[in-house]
Structures are given as structure tokens and as C-alpha cells.
Chain A
Amino acid sequence: MSIIEVNNLTKKFGDIEAVKGISFKVEEGEVFGFLGPNGAGKTTTINILCTLLNPTSGEAVLNNFNVVNNPNEVRRSIGLVFQDPSLDERLTARENLEFHAMIYNVPRSERNERIKNVLEMVELSERQNDLVRNYSGGMKRRLEIARGLLHYPKVLFLDEPTIGLDPQTRNHIWTHIRELKKKENVTVFLTTHYMDEAENCSRIAVIDYGEIVALDTPSNLKAQVGGDVLTLKTGNDEIAALRLKEDFGLDVKLVPSESEGTNSSGIYFEIENGDKFIPKLIKEADLNILSINLRKPTLDDVFLKLTGHAIREEKADVSTFHRAHMRMGRR
């Protein structure tokens, strides 16, 4: 029996169908990733699995308990780091952690030790007795993660856990998560739109517009992209793309432009043995090449290939972050 089983799950908010009949299984001890752009339905799925939302239809079973019929048993099996802030700002960091440890039944004898460890992990030991309302945004985020790792649940949900954190802290946190997984056999369910974070996963479900478009290990997913990815910046992308299609029979795509006024900021294509192709390209193609970049395929490329659009095309990224901070700032 898998630790999570989801069958044909849907969730509608009025006219919006946020989750459109998804099905998947997560095995015990896995690090399972949900990768998708803003609004794909990642948080909605987690909210259903953690009993905060009822599904419109379909079924979800966690640790052999149905999330709708046995919410109390499900809640006893899980831990969460939410995407949006969820701290008590009128308590100190330590009091927030103590509240969590108590309510999750962490044995009294282990409480102090664990609190000390997670505080060290996120480097907040010195500020532990400050009120959370006086913390910076990043400090709050770190505290939130520390709190999520305080008890050892069957399934740990991490909804975009390390958004806005510096690389060093992200490393600390990932080391801790891996240890937890090894020692306590915790299953980790992660959502992210950071590709490098997704690489930590044993399996990844790529989700777009409420549907799972692929589900596999990171390396298998990357193998779907044929060979290497070559990106060129040229004087005229449209002409360059046309020539490469005609002369080399390549399937060339435009890199979506990051600035207003231009249509593209380069072109790219997949090619086997890209390192050997570059000299040939330079010798034979009569193009105004400004720069060449060769790299192994990443999950970004996988996403682009599967959905036809880049994962962070949408500018909503900024607004979700903004929304979270607005909420923290009010009081």
C-alpha cells in the first residue's frame, strides 16, 4: 500500500477548476515533487491532502486514511510547511516552536533538544526570544521551516519551502531533511518551481493547469529531452531560426523575450553531441552569432517540452510573494 494514493481528484472554486482529475501514488520514504508554474494547482492539492479543503470529487488516501472521512487520523500522520505565512507574530520564535512541539506531542524529554537543533539549522538561536513580528521576512520563513521539522510525521508537506532564502540556508535545510528521511523514514511531499530543488526528488510530477502532464524520476524526465540544449544569441533570431531549419533540419525555438519591445532573446534547440556540433555550426552557418551556450538538459527544458511554455513565464510569481507580505505587514 502506498503512503499517498490520489484518484481522479478534482477541485473547483466556482468557475475555476484548480485541479482537474489528477491521480498519483507516493511510496513511503520517497521525496516526491510537484513541479509547476503559479496557479497550477499545487497548493490546492496539498490543502486537500492535509484536510484543509474538501475535494469537489475524487478520492485521496493518506497513510491508509481517507482525507474526507478520517481527517483526524490524517492530521495525526502529517506535518506541513505552508507556502503562506502561518506564524503567531505575537509570540516569540521559541514560543511558536514550543506550541508546535506540544500540540504535536513531541515528548517533553526531547522537546528542548529538538528546538535547539532546528533553531541552529536556520541560524535563529540568538533571536529565539524575540517576538516574531520583529523578524524580517526571510527570518520568518526560516522559522516556519524550522517549526515544520520539529516533529517526525509520516508525511511531511513542504509547499515551496525555500522561496526567498539564501543558498547557504537552503543547503542547511536540505541536509536536515535528508537526515530526517534517513533516520525516521519520513516521506517528503514537495512543491516547487525551483528546478534545482526539484532535482532533490526521487520522482517528480509535472503539473500544469491542474493536470499532471508527466510523472517520472528527474533523470528519466530529462532523458525525454533529446541530447544537449544549445542556445544562441544572434543579430536576428527569426532569420537565424529559419536558416538552421533549412540547412540542418533542426527544430529551432525562440527563447521568450524578457524585455518589452523584442520578440525573443535568442533561439535554442536540442541536439545530440552538441560539443561536436558547435564547430560545424560556426564553419557552415552564415549567421550573425553573438553568443553560444551549450548545456545538459534541465527540468526547465523538460517543462518547456511538455507544456510548450516556460515555467516562469507568468509574472504572477511576484504577486503571490507580494500577497504573502501584504498579509504579514497588516496589523
Chain B
Amino acid sequence: MFRDSPIIRWRHYNDRYRLVGYRCTKCEKAYLDKKGMCTCGNLDFTEQEFSGVGKIVAYTQIHSGPEVFESKSPYCVAVIDLKEGARIEAQVVDCRYSDLKQGLEVEAVFRKFYTSGEKGVIHYGTKFVPKY
């Protein structure tokens, strides 16, 4: 079930609008989502806003995704390692699938995700574009 509540989205503004994540206070490992415990065993994290610069680790093209993305299909999705170390899965836009490769430098942009029908809320968030 695709989660489509404006309120659920609103709760995620911090990490979707701005790439705010968490850093382990002991080993400095960065995470996008709040973890109970770091891989090093530490339980304490500090909030950190990431720069939005990263590299593609893996990527694919999606032809038939969720219905709300239909007007934007086909679109590219990639696993990206941010400069600060956190890993994120996000759409890569303003490019062709054939432009993408492992290690390609990308940067975060603020874009529209989808709208909840003709009358619903417009959902925004972070996508990536090849660095230019």
C-alpha cells in the first residue's frame, strides 16, 4: 500500500526536504534514518544536515512504478553514497538512463514527487541530478 497521507509526508520534511540525518557520536558513521544503535554499538547520535553531494553506487530505470509516478515514467532510481557517508535511495532526474554509471557524481535538488490526485496535496522532496 502506497502511503499517501499529507501528514505522514509532513513528518518526514526533515529528511526528505533537506537531507537531515544522524551521525554516530563515537565512530562518526552517518545515517539518513534514525537508528536505535550504530553498527559500532554506540547509542548516541547527533543531527546533521548533509551537503547533498554524492556518488551513484547502483541504479536502475523504472518503467511501471506506483501510479502516482506514471506521468514521469520512465524514471531513474539510484542508490547514492553521500559524501558524509550516509546511503540514500532516490530518483535521479535531468538525465537519461544511458548517462548513469557507477561512481557518477550527483547533487541533491528539491523537486516535486507527486500529487495526490487533482485535488490533493503536492508532495515535494529531494532528488538528485548528475553534477554539472
Query: Do A and B come together as binding partners?
Result: no
